[in-house]
Amino acid sequence: MRTVRGTCAFAAAALVAAGLALSGCNKAATSSSDFVDNIEPADRLYNKALADLDAGNTKEAGKSLAEIDKQHPYSEYSRRSLVLQTFLHYRKGEYEDAINMGKRYVSLYPGDKDAAYAQYLVGMSYFRQMPDVSRDQSITARAFNAMNEVVQRYPDSEYVEDAKTKMRITLDQLAGKEMLAGRYYLERREYLAAINRFRTVVERFQTTRHVEEALARLAEANYAMGLVDEAQTAAAVLGHNFPESEWYRDALKLLQGAGVAPRENAGSWISKAGQNLDQKPRVDG
């Protein structure tokens, strides 16, 4: 019994001592300074970011801008920092971050004066990632759509003209991809597959430089399949819209070699598409 009482007494004393020790620790741990963030004024952070940008210190500028977003999320400086972060990510080649940040800005401030710029940076971030024409063109299509948003939603902005230029370039590349596939099928004598690709160019990418070749290839593929009437129509539409084209001369030579001439069939899809052909300057980029 004595041993048990001694043990209990010792344990109680130990618990009391431990409690005192923990009480001392808790007192130190609950210091109010540990629960107060080091808040820096938004204008000071923003001006610091601008100064760092001017000095070429993009890393520090990014930190200051991120702090504004964190410490002052609903302030005017937070709005400014968001579009500046979009630009900073774009400038550093961090295109996915620029796209996400720019989309966030447009979503939060669609009617703001800087929304057009943020949307333009989204388009440029896609544009800078456009792959070689032989590869998948999903990003190219996204670049077109993003730039089209600039044109449609912000028609009076200073970025519209360059957005239109970038749209023409993206369309030209998308058409180039279709032509590449069409030529491949044509060489393999898979004429129907080739015609489908060339048809896409004539119907969807009429403002590109590829439409002339597409019409000539349609004449070639249809003639090879024995569809002389369609071949004649393709050549006729080509000659009507591009009379000085080398592709027209090639199509004309092909038909003349068979003893026939270009002749348009008004019921053909080629003829209907030809009515909508646009004679705007072609983009070589």
Q: What is the pLDDT of residues 45-59, one digit of tens each?
A: 787 778 877 777 777
Pick the CATH number of 42-172 from 3.40.50.920, 3.90.1300.10, 3.40.50.2300, 1.25.40.10: 1.25.40.10
pLDDT of residue 280: 44
The percent of residues above 90 in pLDDT, for the chain, comes to: 66
Q: Please, which pLDDT band fits residue 282 given cuts at 50, 70 and 90?
A: very low
Q: Tell me: pLDDT of 117 over 50.
A: yes
pLDDT of residue 29: 52
Task: Report, in this order, helix, strand and coil percent for the chain, each rounded to 5.
Answer: 70, 0, 30
How many angstroms separate the CA atoms of 23 and 232, rounded? 97
DSSP 134: T
Q: What is the pLDDT of residue 108?
A: 93
Higher pLDDT, 2 or 93: 93
Residue 182 CA to residue 176 CA, distance in Å, equals 10
pTM of the model: 0.78
pLDDT tens for residues 1-23? 444 444 444 434 443 444 434 44
Model confidence pLDDT, tens digit, residues 180-193: 999 999 999 999 99
The mean pLDDT value for 69-79 works out to 77
Mean pLDDT, residues 194-213 taken together: 96
| Mean per-residue pLDDT of the chain | 85
Most confident range, picked from 67-71, 161-165, 277-281 = 161-165
Specify the pLDDT at position 21: 42
- Per-domain residue ranges for the chain? 42-172, 190-274
Q: What's the average model confidence in pLDDT over 67-85?
A: 81
Look up residue 285 and give its DSSP letter: -
Identify the helix (H) or strand (E) that includes residue 265. none
Q: What are phi and psi of 180, to 5 degrees?
A: -60, -45
User: What is the average per-residue pLDDT within 92-98?
Assistant: 96
Q: What average pLDDT score do residues 11-38 get? A: 45
User: Please, which pLDDT band fits residue 73 given cuts at 50, 70 and 90?
Assistant: confident
**Residue written as token pair 């991120």:** 66
What region, left, alpha or beta, does residue 108 occupy, with left being phi > 0 and alpha being psi -120 to 50 degrees? alpha
Cβ neighbors of 155 (< 8 A, separation 6 or more) are none
- Cα separation of the two ends of the chain: 99
Query: Residue 74 has what pLDDT?
Result: 74
What is the structure's pLDDT at 277?
Answer: 82
Number of neighbours of residue 244 by Cβ within 10 angstroms: 7
| pLDDT over 70, % of the chain | 84
CA distance 262 to 231: 8
CA distance 254 to 239: 13
pLDDT (average), residues 104-131: 96
